[in-house]
Structure 1
Amino acid sequence: MKTKTQFFSLCFLIPLFILQACGQSAKKSNTKTTNIENKIHKPENPYYSNTDSTKLNVTDTEWKKVLPEDVYAVMREADTERPFTGKYWNTDEKGTYYCASCGNKLFKSGAKFASSCGWPSFFEQENKKSIVYKNDNSLGMERIEALCGRCGGHLGHLFDDGPAPTGKRYCMNSIALDFIADSQK
């Protein structure tokens, strides 16, 4: 048991020493920034940008290299997270939701509503180009798949049972979303 505890302690301490040796602080900076890209920094993903809306044409092989396995499964293979397990299904914090693959702005929190379906739900997208659609006839039913308008990643589905003013319910996978609170901007 002692060896296991020492091992986990080393796993934590070694990266801390490396950061300090490189002259970087392991503590969070109190400096406020207005650059949204610094809020969700994904250096391993060169396609991630909260400010670039240029349509991406990236192969699945390349996405597999830069996305975590669980994000890849949902966004590139149209997997679905289990209901009531995602981090955003039951939140009401004010802010903006972005594509977890490419950083495309998708939804404002003002469009989010409690649908009780187990996934985050929105009644409208950020702009007409932020999300695109395709017919999905999988699982023996007709649905409309919602895809990121920039990278084509699977976000979830669109249903016609949402609240006014649109009557739409964008039923999204939490893992397909990144969130930046208004208080962090």
Structure 2
Amino acid sequence: ARGFDLSEDTLMRVAVFRTGDRSYRFVWSFHHIVMDGWCLSLMTDEVFGVYAALLENKQPELAPVKPYSDYIEWLEHQDAQEATRYWSDYLAGFEQQTLLPTENSQASEAEWDKDSDRSDQSSHSGYVLEKLPFMLGKERSAALKQMAKQQHVTINTLLQSVWGVILQKYNNHQDVVFGSVVSG
């Protein structure tokens, strides 16, 4: 609940709480910049594998690792012009614009504005910007996690795929292009 301040905090915290005579809770908090869903399972497998070995008075066996600097070095040697050429060729001929419906297009204002407060909304190019918070609940969250796991993708990739299908349906097109804006 405390969160992390990137400018001041250690980006990983571990705490062990005794909850009974022979029971404990292990709480491992970290910022997403340090670990994501892919490496979390690798890290927990390794940490608890070491723990299990130590409980049995055995020497933990860890697989050799490559330093992150190897990946950065590989990344720096990639040809940016070749990557640009690849994506330009891949997207060649794609000229349709991927749009969302506006209030004046496919849906009436009543359909889009059920019980919403417009006091803090801004409009851009006919679109209404608003936040619609909702809770998925434990069952739907578990189902999404299971689906992502079965497909060997992250929840983020799964949700972006769903977003692509939604855009495909709204635009009545086979192909959809969308992205995100990264500000520096």
TM-score, with length taken from structure 1: 0.17
**Is the radius of gyration larger for structure 1 or structure 2?**
2
| Greater fraction strand | 1
Higher relative contact order (CA 8 A, sep 6+): 1
Identify the structure with the greater helix proportion.
2
TM-score (norm 2): 0.17
